[in-house]
Amino acid sequence: MSLITCFTEEDSLGCQLQVYMDYNATTPLEPDVIRAMTEAMREAWGNPSSPYPAGRKAKDVIRAARGSLANMIGATPQDIVFTSGGTESNNLVIHSALRHFHKVHSLKGDMAECHRQALGAMPHFVTCTVEHDSIRLPLEHLVEEQVAAVTFVPVSQVSGRAEVDDVLAAVRPATCLVTVMLANNETGVVMPIPELGRRLRALNQQRAASGLPAVLLHTDAAQAVGKRRVDVGELGVDFLTIVGHKFYGPRIGALYVRGLGVLTPLYPMLFGGGQERSFRPGTENTPMIAGLGKAAELVTENCEAYEAHMRDVRDYLEERLAAEFDKKIHLNSLFPGTERLPNTCNFSIRGPRLQGRLVLAQCRTLLASVGAACHTDHGDRPSPVLLGCGIPFDVARNALRLSVGRSTTRAEVDLVVQDLKQAVARLEGQA
């Protein structure tokens, strides 16, 4: 058994084997990442802004980590900004798009006058209905404050995706940003970002000919990095969010900005000492950045193997679920013709007493969730993501999200399926 995915917990019943299958919520640190962080704490303790050797050592560690992140996503190091995590990166993008809209419209000259006449005063954002709260809530806040308009594009109930035609149909003259996640954290559905990037570039050429500013494109890649190949050139995005703890790194993040400050604007939310070229000031957390860089190196070297292993185990999980529960199983994340993450299985076991939370509460081996970790306060309400994808209410209410990791084994899958079978039997026996 893997030491990462299986562990024991002492309780009133004695020693109980447990299997972790919630890798979309967070991942443990890889041993190499821990070593890199420990070494940085010991050897690179200096202030990276200091000129003496300890400071230069810390600065070198940060420079190397920046290069590793850039290499992982096909970017250049100067386009990477370190942040505290995905929430900050996403908020920084939204903040920058809003500030840039107002800056463009404050310029003097014939072009700015054309912009004002065409756009009016209210910036507009386009996103989809299944985004993470760190996208949805900031945009809803802008609407509440009456400083921006937002279109939330529904996902297709056929594909589970935000379709490109629907996203582009929502673009207005005043649109300043389109933000669509690369892969959904609950269903694992991969969004058509490369096609969206190509078509938005063509649209921006038409806008330029009409005197309208370009629409910026952002994707939150938190769930995709480390599970599939991610290349910013192929995606065609202006911004991309990176979250370390989703790929066995520490709980910090980064933001990719295409042609940072030259081709793509970025406006700081914080002001201070000038670190990160003043885009994100504050003394750098060298050990965490070192760990993030090492996690990125591991992804660059091993992503294909990680992906193949996770897909094999996830597919085996779905085969075992179908074999044990037959027609009672509904795979909520399986949409014909739609790509999904290799590690994610969202399913429901049909039955009036088999709500997801009740099933998990009866499980003695499985550690998993009913959906996004940030939605644990939703009680027994079905996931809005699943309902938006067309999953019926009674089916969505029974949903479980299992997400496997790099070290999850088929033997662990067998343990989990048996655990689920026993949990269901106990619940149905209470009827």
Active site amino acids:
374
Distance CA 329, CA 325 (A): 6
Closest CA to 167 of 120, 140, 129, 223: 129
Residue 252 DSSP code: -
H or E element at residue 377: none
**CA dihedral for 199, 200, 205, 210, sign (positive or negative):** positive
**177 in Cβ contact with 94 (< 8 Å):** yes
Concatenate the DSSP letters of all residues of 79-125 into one string.
Answer: GEEEES-HHHHHHHHHHHHHHHHHHHHH--SHHHHHHHHHH-S--EE
Residue of 83, 103, 93, 92 whose CA lies nearest to 269: 92
Q: Which residues are within 8 A (CB) of 59 and not within 5 positions of it... i.e. 6 or more apart?
A: 48, 49
Helix (H, G, I), strand (E, B) or coil at 200: helix
Strands (E) located in 119-158: 124-128, 149-153
**Rounded distance between C-alpha atoms, residue 67 and residue 73, angstroms:** 10
- The b/e string for 132-150 (b: 16+ C-beta within 10 A; e otherwise) is bebbbebbeebeeeeebbb
**Backbone phi and psi for residue 190, each to the nearest 5 degrees, phi listed first:** -95, 125
Helix (H) or strand (E) holding 403: strand 399-403
